[in-house]
Structure 1
């Protein structure tokens, strides 16, 4: 059985119908925010992020991720004390709790009875006949100041329990596009193939579910040359072998040897992540066996 047959056909970008549903979902979320009176005059940036924005999602993972980023308050960290220029504290009313509350009201008005606010971070909007599922994340402008005084821009997300995390969606988008260009447009298709492998293995009970973003990061950390193999069978083999070999053992103590997320702004493996190095090895080992590569 060929690789294509094992996966039930190739996984390309979303179909025209699926793309229409995704675009309609994003448009309706934008309309909901624009129509909410409390947001008038508020510095808000609404944008797609994740697999949908990066064109690396597959049909089984075709939901839309939307960030609603507030620029009224800028959160920051610094590499060394004093790297951030002196400034006063924000005294406005756009706190994380206020942003979350108003966003929930705006979404409920547009999608009555379809907004799930039980999650720790995102609002889940359930799909309809003309829409796909969507996760809407409230967040704030964020800057990380280096010792030089330069800074890196990102988004700070506050969970309901007060904990927070920082994402870099712009850098993820740019780096994914750059790698796709360097690999003659093969990188993103390879990501979709590996996500399809994960979906099929879960459906068949071969392996546990692996986060889509984690799969994308594993593929991103493979050398560009892997994606230029003469066949897709060889490309997938190269991805599996590279991940298996490079993730053996403990996390390197040398920073330059550690794997990064696609944004290249955060390490892929650290104590706060939902996965570890062994999870990556377990996934590719299961893929190797399922796809029938020779031992």
Structure 2
């Protein structure tokens, strides 16, 4: 017996969205009133993750928040010619207020709030607010430049994704920060969100509801000790499903789950990209998924589907 539509509908429903906006706003206000030592820097604060993407499930708790420094940024010029690189190197961010000092000030500002409990994790700052716990990523803007011919040939992509830099060079905006174990990490959360929103619209909302179903399948498998929770992180599951063609998402949850499991079991998933379309989903980096773990999750999900 396969998983009934009624159970899938329960799993498809979003978890509580209450209080995540309050948590976000409380952190924003703390940074707004902080006495910045050299004047308030140019930064922005925004949501990422399941609350931002409306893919929360009942087991979700922490809200993911990005605090991004824009007055200092890093550049990736590897896609450009030598002459183009030399031209853009003149525009390297020269601000004396850099990411390390910004991170120090953000932590200090958060610790000034008596109602917050603040601790440092490997990648983010863990903040217990009166509303929800928050994982705060403190980062600087990162610019991935593309060559002019690519930007010119991909007009619609340019309009949606590329930003115009000096001398009409185009770049994709990401974030960059260093973990406490010393690794520099680059990601593209704004494009993860844009691509997810677009795919949800193109599938009549079935993309987001299916993500919630698969996250709940993961939770069920973890609860039954069939897989370990760190074998199938929620972010990777979302990226995995993003690579499934829109045509596999149907109006019925049963048909959709069946289609997706059949598709994933028959494809070479090693070539899949993350939802931001910039980073490979699978690889040897600590920030990539193991093909072995992904296939194990898919196979266990198929067994659950066939033997409910």
TM range (shorter): 0.7 to 0.9
Deviation at residue 150 of structure 1 after TM alignment: 2.2
**Aligned equivalents of 1:132 and 1:288: distance in 2?**
34
Q: Is residue 260 from structure 1 mapped to residue 273 from structure 2 by the alignment?
A: yes
Match of 2:296 among 258, 275, 282: 282
Indicate conservation of the 8 Å contact 1:3/1:291, yes or no.
no
> What's the CA shift string for 1:97-150, capped at 9, x where partnerless?
211111111111225561111x1220011354xx22210011111111123232
Helix, strand or coil at the partner of 2:214? helix
Indicate conservation of the 8 Å contact 2:122/2:179, yes or no.
yes
Helix, strand or coil at the partner of 1:20? coil
Match of 1:70 in 2: 69
Indicate conservation of the 8 Å contact 1:155/1:168, yes or no.
yes
Deviation at residue 95 of structure 1 after TM alignment: 2.3
Q: Provide the alpha-carbon RMSD of the alignment.
A: 2.3
Deviation at residue 7 of structure 1 after TM alignment: 6.5
**Aligned equivalents of 2:247 and 2:218: distance in 1?**
23
Match of 1:269 in 2: 282
> What's the CA shift string for 1:14-43, capped at 9, x where partnerless?
33xxx2311111111111111211174210
Q: Is residue 98 from structure 1 mapped to residue 76 from structure 2 by the alignment?
A: no
**Aligned equivalents of 1:104 and 1:38: distance in 2?**
12
For structure 2, the residue ranges without an aligned partner over 5 or more in a row are: 149-168
Aligned residues: 279
Deviation at residue 8 of structure 1 after TM alignment: 9.4
Indicate conservation of the 8 Å contact 2:176/2:184, yes or no.
yes
Match of 2:30 among 21, 29, 32: 32
Indicate conservation of the 8 Å contact 2:139/2:176, yes or no.
yes
Higher RCO, 1 or 2 (CA under 8 Å, sep at least 6)?
2
> What's the CA shift string for 1:58-94, capped at 9, x where partnerless?
1212321111100111200111334341315544332
**Aligned equivalents of 1:87 and 1:276: distance in 2?**
40
Q: What are the equivalent positions in structure 2 for 1:138-157 lying under 5 Å apart? A: 138-148=138-148, 149-157=169-177
Q: What are the equivalent positions in structure 2 for 1:2-151 lying under 5 Å apart? A: 2-3=3-4, 9-15=10-16, 19-38=17-36, 40-78=39-77, 79-80=79-80, 81-84=82-85, 85-87=88-90, 89-110=92-113, 114-117=117-120, 119-126=121-128, 128=130, 131-148=131-148, 149-151=169-171
Indicate conservation of the 8 Å contact 2:283/2:290, yes or no.
yes
For structure 1, the residue ranges without an aligned partner over 5 or more in a row are: 252-257
> What's the CA shift string for 1:246-294, capped at 9, x where partnerless?
136xx4xxxxxx2111111211112213422222111011111123359
Indicate conservation of the 8 Å contact 2:42/2:71, yes or no.
yes
**Aligned equivalents of 1:292 and 1:110: distance in 2?**
51
Q: What are the equivalent positions in structure 2 for 1:87-236 lying under 5 Å apart? A: 87=90, 89-110=92-113, 114-117=117-120, 119-126=121-128, 128=130, 131-148=131-148, 149-209=169-229, 210-228=232-250, 230-236=251-257
